Amino acid sequence: MKSCFLSLILALTCGLSAAPVPRLPDVKPPGNAAVEKSIERGVYFLLGNQNKDGSWGTPRNTKGLNIYAPTYHSHYAFRLAVTALCTSALIEAGGDTPQVRAAIQDSEAYLLEHLPKLRRATADAMYNVWAHGYGLQALVRLRARAQQANETASVKQIEQVIAAQFDRLTRYESVDGGWGYYDFRLGTQKPASSSISFVNGTVLVAFHEAKQAGLKPPPHLVKRALAATKRQHLPDGSFLYGEYLKNGPRRGINRPAGSLGRSQVCNLALRLWEDPRITDQVIVDWLDRLFARNDWLGIGRKRPVPHEAWFQIAGYFYYYGHYYAGLLLDHVPAKDRPRLQDHLATTLMKLQEKDGDWWDFPLYDYHRQYGTAMAVMALQKCLRPREESTPSGTP
């Protein structure tokens, strides 16, 4: 008995008692033709649901109980974040039709006019950080288009708005480093909000895209956000929901099942910024967990109340998690990439709605737009090089 007890202690100490990583059997490749058809339907949905002013989303209430959204600036932030995501999706996957070009032109005008005006809604509600993060990604893509077209004046204007987003993220950075979208501590000019792991991940991914495009984000913001995210990285590979939960690391929301939707973005952010702990195997393992335990994340999908599902999962993590899973495919070893692409494509395609959209959480009238944009960009990462593609319907 004593020997068994000592063996258990040794295993725990050495990390040998960790449960094996679950892995689903390979699925039948859907083929590029089927994936492209699904993307096309999503693009048509986005084109058909753009507002006349070039934006996407409205504050129309879609349920009796909705999340806290004080003042019009909350909805201003939601609309700008969703518009940025839809713009990126059309640039990434929309093709080069006249309709897509016109939609991007209109959304570009909206973003350039309104992103510089965005502020936090109230002292305690800072949804604007999402719009600044996703706005950066869209602006980087718009700048690349303008450079390709030799539109010097447009490039300069876009760069000015990018600089403004860096400034806003400096102003709204938490005193702890990183960012949060609520500040219930209040009383400080600089937000005292808890650093939220997945908000940090979102912004750090956007910062890296800007850096790759030759636009240097503020180094101190990167350094502090990375430090805050690393503090929330648990030994089992999960990430705390936010630093305010550091004294309850074994709460359901912080365990692997509760972290499925945010471990992808946090792993990606740390990998991009060269954290040596995020190895190829870590990325593969967490993608395998995402697909093998997809029902843990999926059980929150379409539930109207945030965090009411098991492990306190909220519905809005579903397509968010799969979007960043798609971005992680660029960091997966070649031997694992095809099977993980097939799992991601199969998972998303079966959930596409009859109108061509995807949605996971009823959020006023922004959910179908952000869900579709994220799913379309994730599916784009599932396309195989033509010589590797398996036609739909063949083994």
Could you read off the pLDDT of 361-388 as tens digits, one per residue? 999 999 999 999 999 999 999 999 876 6
Identify any residues that bridge with 58 across adjacent strands, giving them in sequence order.
365
The DSSP bridge partners found for residue 340 are none
Query: Among the listed ranges 13-22, 140-149, 249-258, 264-273, which one has the minimum average pLDDT value?
Result: 13-22
Q: Are 8 and 17 in contact (CB under 8 A)?
A: yes
Q: What is the mean pLDDT of residues 84-106?
A: 98
Position 2 confidence tier, pLDDT thresholds 50, 70, 90: very low
pTM beyond 0.95, yes or no: no
Q: How confident is the model at residue 62 (pLDDT cuts 50, 70, 90)?
A: confident
Residues 270 and 177 in one domain: no
Please give the pLDDT value at position 9.
37
- Amino acid 171 reads R
- Region 312-325: mean pLDDT is 95
In this structure, are residues 92 and 68 in contact, taking their beta carbons and an 8 Å threshold? no
Q: Do 261 and 358 fall into the same domain?
A: yes
Task: Please give the pLDDT value at position 387.
Answer: 60
pLDDT, tens digit, 9 for 90 and up, residues 114-165: 999 999 999 999 999 999 999 999 999 999 999 999 999 999 999 999 999 9
Do 206 and 270 share a domain, yes or no? no
Of 11 and 286, which is predicted with more confidence? 286
Query: What pLDDT score was predicted for residue 4?
Result: 44
Examine residue 90 and state whether it is found in any structural domain, yes or no. yes
Number of domains in the chain: 2
pLDDT exceeds 60 at position 389:
no
Q: Are residues 167 and 59 in the same domain?
A: yes
Q: Which domain does 289 fall in, by range? A: 233-238+250-382
**Rounded Cα distance, 337 and 113, in Å:** 40
- The Cα–Cα gap between 331 and 268 comes to 9
Closest CA to 18 of 253, 236, 232, 282: 236
**Residue 227 forms part of a structural domain:** no
Backbone angles phi, psi at 94, to 5 degrees: -80, -15
Mean pLDDT estimate for the chain: 92
